[in-house]
Structure 1
């Protein structure tokens, strides 16, 4: 395996591991537990999954890398968002199973996009305020998303332990 193929395999493996970690962290939680804010900042586990769907998978892979429109981004609603970005919002009547299915669907579409792009592929959509070297290629975007997903997987681990005592890592 050449270095490029090895790097690609390692990056995609790390991304998939973080995605599976996120899904495992919320597996088995009831609707009320998924919606509960257990930390003072007020986010819920299902809100974090929504963020990983919209602000992670869809934004970085579907929009930035594939150039798909940003028409899925929710409008700000300060009365519901409580200071968080709108991509964390899960409406009160919205089913948590649907939010989890949306995450899985976004992952499947992301995987299609990732399979078609080389690591040196340039983004098709760049934000106007990004410096030229910022997120210059798929490799840089993958690293960013992996780090973000890993950070949030750790947040979910802490929330899960507070909710029902389940630990991801037993020390």
Structure 2
């Protein structure tokens, strides 16, 4: 892997761990319960991170896997909900699997690599130019959403994320 992308991936991994860590120990009921006026649940946010972030940006945009990008564009609103029949274990399993696939795409990429696909139907005039900026964009989005999960978790049971130094080896 390229040293620059490796450094960005380390920071991204810390945010991914934050997402999983802040939700550890919550019941199925609490994971599904909306606590903010916008109505999303913690589990729905993990599903969004799985489908619209990890799968979309890495296999879909960087690698250009056509079956990924097309599915995501078509169902973006539905990705903020979790089907009743889908357990929290399935949602977390899918998130971890999406991360593993994303990591393989990052490992095969170089910083200046242009996206293999771009969703012009979503952003006809905006474009991230390379893998470097896509990883930075995803890192920022995951960090933002881990903060949302911090707030939700604190509202649910008072738990806060005090994970220590995320960059320690």
The aligned residue for residue 91 of structure 1 is 83
Give me the whole-angstrom Cα distance separating, in 1, the residues matched to 2:93 and 2:80: 16
The yes-or-no answer on 1:14 pairing with 2:11 is: yes
Shift in Å at residue 74 of structure 1?
Answer: 8.4
The yes-or-no answer on 1:73 pairing with 2:66 is: no
Contact 2:54 2:98 in 1 (8 A): yes
Question: So what's the TM-score if we normalise by structure 2?
Answer: 0.87
Question: So what's the TM-score if we normalise by structure 1?
Answer: 0.86
The aligned residue for residue 27 of structure 1 is 24
Q: Which moved more, 1:84-93 or 1:21-30?
A: 84-93
Runs of 4+ in 1 over 3 A off after TM superposition: 71-76, 129-132
Give me the whole-angstrom Cα distance separating, in 2, the residues matched to 1:34 and 1:75: 26
* 5+ residue gaps, structure 1: 77-83
What CA RMSD, in Å, does the superposition of the two structures yield over aligned residues? 2.0
> CA-to-partner distance for each residue in 1:104-162, whole Å, 9 max, x for gaps?
00000111111111111111111224447x21100010011000000000000000001
Contact 1:66 1:124 in 2 (8 A): yes
Give me the whole-angstrom Cα distance separating, in 2, the residues matched to 1:16 and 1:130: 30
Aligned positions, number: 158
* 5+ residue gaps, structure 2: 164-169
